[in-house]
Amino acid sequence: MADKPLRVLVGKIGLDGHDRGAKVVAQALRDAGMEVIYTGLRQTPEQIVETALQEDVQVIGLSILSGAHMQLIPPVVEMLREHDSSDIIVVVGGIIPREDIIYLKEQGVAEVFTPGSSTVDIISFIKRKFD
Amino acid sequence: MCENENKEKLLEAKKAWREKLKKALEKHPERKKFKLESELELESVYDLLDLENFDYMEKLNWPGEYPYTRGIQPTMYRGRLWTMRQYAGFGSAEETNERFRYLLDQGQTGLSVAFDLPTQIGYDSDHPLARGEVGKVGVAIDSLADMEILMNQIPLDQVSTSMTINSPAAVLLAMYMAVAEKQGIPMDKINGTIQNDILKEYVARGTYIFPPRESMRIIVDIFAYAGENIPTWNTISISGYHIREAGSTAVQEVAFTLSNAIAYVEAAIKAGMDVDEFAPRLSFFFNAHSNFFEEIAKFRAARRIWAWLMKERFGAKNPRSLMLRFHTQTAGSTLTAQQPDVNIMRVAFQALSAVLGGTQSLHTNSRDEALALPSEHSVLLALRTQQVIGYEIGATDTVDPLGGSYFIENLTDHIEQEVLRYIDKIDEIGGAVEAIENGYIQKEIQASAYRYQKEVESAERVVVGVNKFTTSGEQPIDLLKMDPATSQRQVERLKEVRLSRNQGKVAESLQELRRAAQGSDNLMPYILTAVKAYATLGEICGVLRDVFGEYQQQITL
């Protein structure tokens, strides 16, 4: 891993306003030495990808608790692919049923963290990816 | 409280006891430091000396008497239990109507409508930003046609309906009124609540549309209109629930909620209303979290502070203006995805704290909510939990059974003092609207949320099944499956509605609404006219978006 800190985009995708988890994770990543860009609420898949490319991040963390993950997450992965940016890893946090997790991972999501996940696990997962 | 001589004796006895305690602690040290969420470190025991100079009349009085610490009615649950009101809504109006009628059949006594996010943010189901969200966290309502289906065969003069709707509250209220009118029910016979609490949306829940000042205008318009036309409707449910879910402490929950309430009262007074005209219809919504006694004390303290604020700060004369009536929901954020059945117990204790705290209505969360929207079976268990508390365990047999407890009264006083300290601080900043605009409240909540998470991760705070008593290889439970065709059907119905209505009437009503929004007329009659012409929610909110602009989120991190 390079000496440069990892750059991570933390975003709330869709219309869901529950940002406690996103903010806690963003703060924990920052405390772990990463550079965090937090988008705030109501981001579309297009906006997420645009910001990620502009900000030159290595990781996108998407938080969603509204149940719209099946419609909103795959387009992000897809658009990254179209922009030859599949090296940006996408992790998801939220209320995601088991079978949906399997599907999202098939689509190219690196990991899904459900309620009760610890920020320590999230940080070590991301760090491992860039070892 | 105690005679001098008596006090001497007590002090002496306590001193002797403390010596014994010290010795005991040397042999058996305590497991940990015991503190509340709001950081107060607890004594090992509370006694009569802690209630020295406790003025019963001033601090407690009897139920139904100022400052209402012991409850707002003299009879409380001996007369009538709280309203058992499960928040429900998903998919289409048909599916939700079916769930409502099921819940009413199971003994539920009030309805609580969950709307999907596009509805809550004022977009029709075919709006590009509604992608993936239609019918997800609640029911999709695009026009009066949907509301007619939602309330089909539900007699609106016999149930009370709570609607969790904020920015577009005026529109949904107008739809509800229009349906009641079609059922032939006079407007003074409909009962219910709209959440209509925009300030907490900016800090904790996120379904804002318009900027704060324009939103406040709509809210005050609703207060004024409802006062004259639907006198028994609760025009706002000032909500700490979401502030707590966003991570605040118990003290912050009450403090920020009451600060928001102060802002609404001031706005209405500034608009020329008399406090006693609208204050009796203000209602509140709190969270029942996990620290059992702290929560009970919190509810009691909130009632006392509100009564005092209304009387002393706003000069309210009508006793109903002084009574803090509240709905409670158990804490969704305490539910775990791990070992989900354990959530049933969490919910039961939280619900009991709300009952011991004197709630007027209650929603109990379902065990599977950290995994998905609740299944019918899980919702039934949650409702049964309330029924056990109400009918089996004797918790409702006497009013405020914990009143006078050394510990509870101490906690109630403590929370009251801390809340008042925060309210002073927010007053200094210039009120809740200012404190939101400059990010103060958001930052306070975030700091508490982060601290809570750290405590869980260091296992300083035990969460059963998460950081202690964990198991592997859990059995999956049956979850609610959403019908993927719902969204398509909803969009089709919306199209039909748009085609079948009188377009001239719609255009005219929207034009009138625009003019009213640009001026200073009360918006409610214009919205009602538009709704009755089957203008859609998105069209009505679209006009208001044009005139009022949209709120840009304060990003605080």
Q: What pLDDT is recorded for position A98?
A: 87
Residues of A in contact with B450 (CB under 8 A): 23-24, 27-28
Q: Is A24 on the interface with B (CB under 8 A)?
A: yes
User: Range of A58's domain?
Assistant: 7-129
pLDDT digits (tens, 9 = 90+) for B532-541: 999 999 999 9
B131, B137, B449: residue with CB nearest A72: B131
Interface contact A51, partner B, CB < 8 A = no
In angstroms, the CA B350 to CA B332 distance is 11
Select from B373, B457, B482 the Cβ nearest to the Cβ of A119. Answer: B457
A118 vs B482: CB contact, 8 Å cut-off? no
Could you tell me the two tokens for B228?
């004259």
* Chain B partners within 8 Å of A71 (Cβ): 131-132
Spell B189-203 as b/e; 16+ CB within 10 A means b. Answer: ebbbbbbbbbbbbbb
Is residue A76 less than 8 Å (CB to CB) from chain B?
no
Per-residue model confidence (pLDDT) at position B36: 87
Tokens describing residue B366: 């379902």
Per-residue pLDDT of chain B (557 residues; tens, 9 = 90+): 456 788 999 999 999 999 999 999 999 999 998 988 777 899 999 999 999 889 999 999 999 999 999 999 999 999 999 999 988 888 899 999 998 999 899 888 889 999 999 999 999 999 999 999 999 989 999 999 999 999 999 999 999 999 999 999 999 999 999 999 999 999 999 999 999 999 999 999 999 999 999 999 999 999 999 999 999 999 999 999 999 999 999 999 999 999 999 999 999 999 999 999 999 999 999 999 999 999 999 999 999 999 999 999 999 999 999 999 999 999 999 999 899 999 999 999 999 999 999 999 999 999 999 888 888 899 999 999 999 999 999 999 999 999 999 999 999 999 999 999 999 999 999 999 999 999 999 999 999 999 999 999 999 999 999 999 999 877 677 777 777 788 999 999 999 999 999 999 999 999 999 999 999 999 999 999 999 999 999 999 999 999 999 999 888 88
Region at B63 (left for phi over 0; alpha for psi -120 to 50; beta for the rest): beta
How far is the alpha carbon of A129 from chain B, nearest alpha carbon, in Å?
22
A-interface mutation test, from B115, B116, B117, most A Cβ less than 10 A away: B117
ipTM of the assembly? 0.94
Containing B307, the helix (H) or strand (E) segment is: helix B292-308
Please identify which residue in the block is written with the tokens 């088991």: A98
Residue of chain B nearest A24, judged by CA positions: B450
Query: Measured between alpha carbons, how far is B23 from B408 in angstroms, rounded to an integer?
Result: 27
Domain boundaries, chain B: 486-548
CA B8 to chain centre: 46
- Distance, in Å, from the CA atom of B261 to the CA atom of B474, rounded to the nearest integer, reads 44
Q: Indicate yes or no: CB of B117 within 8 angstroms of CB of A66.
A: yes
CATH number of the domain within which A74 lies: 3.40.50.280
Give the dihedral of Cα atoms B424, B426, B430, B434; nearest 10 deg: -170
Q: Which residue in B has a C-alpha nearest to residue A68's C-alpha?
A: B132
User: Are residues A115 and B373, on separate chains, in Cβ contact within 8 Å?
Assistant: no
Q: What is the pLDDT of residue B5?
A: 82
| Per-residue confidence (pLDDT) for residue B2, from 0 to 100 | 52
Residue A116 contacts B, CB cutoff 8 Å: yes
Task: Give the minimum alpha-carbon distance from B206 to chain A in angstroms, rounded to a whole number.
Answer: 4
Q: Do A18 and B206 touch (CB under 8 A)?
A: yes
DSSP string, B340-400: TTHHHHHHHHHHHHHHHTT-SEEEPPPTTTTTSSPPHHHHHHHHHHHHHHHHTSSTTSSSS
Cα B68 to Cα B305: distance, rounded to the nearest angstrom:
9
Burial of B485 (0-12, 13-18, 19+ CB in 10 A): exposed
Sign of CA dihedral B48, B54, B55, B60: negative
**∠ Cα B212 B215 B220 (to 5°):** 125
What integer pLDDT is reported at residue B110 of this predicted model?
Answer: 87
The reported pLDDT for the residue numbered A69 is 96
Q: In what order do the strands lie in the sheet with A59-64?
A: A35-38, A7-12, A59-64, A89-94, A111-113
Query: Considering the domain boundaries, does residue A2 fall inside one?
Result: no
Min CA distance, B217 vs chain A (Å)?
23
Residue of A nearest to B466 (CA): A116
- Does the beta-carbon distance from B371 to A95 stay under 8 Å? yes
